[in-house]
């Protein structure tokens, strides 16, 4: 997994250039937001069970048909798989927040997801909504009006949403 810092260094190493002002600004931004990223990740780690519980409660309140016969969360096995996936998105989003990079999401979440979801007939819309709810619940728990904090939180979730929405699952 690359951090934003190592990603910039690798890019410049590949082309054989010294770091320029643009690279230095990207690296400086990574370090400037470090404490915020650590605090956000710590809150996610410490409150992950509550975040997941609030997310699925809201999802199933909004879309109760998922729990009814024929719904994708009907039966204990499917319900458990849904909760597992919500936890999976949250965990990898926290890694993304900490590293300042979305690369981990491509490597560990998005690659192969199409095949998995197609084989299980998982609809994408409730998945996207669950990811949106994760983002909203975390922003609510952080309880900050600081737009840079909200932006740090939003990056991995918005990336997942965009990538999943663009795929023909």
Confidence (pLDDT) at 91: 97
Between the alpha carbon of residue 151 and those of residues 77, 96, 135, 145, the distances in Å are: 35, 13, 10, 11
Confidence (pLDDT) at 122: 84
Q: Which sequence spans correspond to the domains of the chain?
A: 1-32, 34-166
d(CA 123, CA 128): 9
Confidence (pLDDT) at 68: 96
Confidence (pLDDT) at 74: 94
Confidence (pLDDT) at 134: 98
- Chunked into runs of 10 residues, the chain (169 residues) has average pLDDT values of 89 96 95 97 98 98 96 93 95 97 93 79 91 98 94 98 76
d(CA 96, CA 93): 5
34-166 CATH, one of 1.10.490.20, 1.10.40.60, 2.170.190.11, 3.40.30.10 = 1.10.490.20
């Amino acid at each position: 997994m690359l951090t934003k810092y190592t990603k910039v260094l690798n890019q410049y190493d590949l082309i054989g250039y010294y770091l320029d002002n643009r690279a230095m600004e990207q690296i400086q931004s990574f370090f400037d937001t470090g404490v915020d990223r650590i605090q956000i990740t710590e809150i996610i780690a410490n409150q992950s069970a509550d975040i997941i519980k609030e997310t699925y409660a809201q999802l199933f309140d909004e879309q109760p048909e998922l729990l009814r016969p024929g719904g994708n969360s009907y039966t204990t096995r499917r319900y458990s798989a849904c909760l597992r996936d919500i936890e999976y998105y949250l965990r990898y989003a926290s890694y993304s927040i900490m590293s300042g990079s979305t690369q981990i999401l491509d490597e560990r979440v998005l690659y192969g997801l199409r095949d998995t979801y197609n084989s299980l007939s998982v609809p994408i819309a409730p998945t996207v909504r669950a990811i949106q709810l994760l983002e909203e619940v975390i922003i609510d728990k952080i309880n900050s009006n600081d737009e840079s904090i909200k932006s740090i939180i939003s990056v991995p979730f918005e990336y997942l949403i965009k990538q999943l929405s663009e795929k023909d699952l």
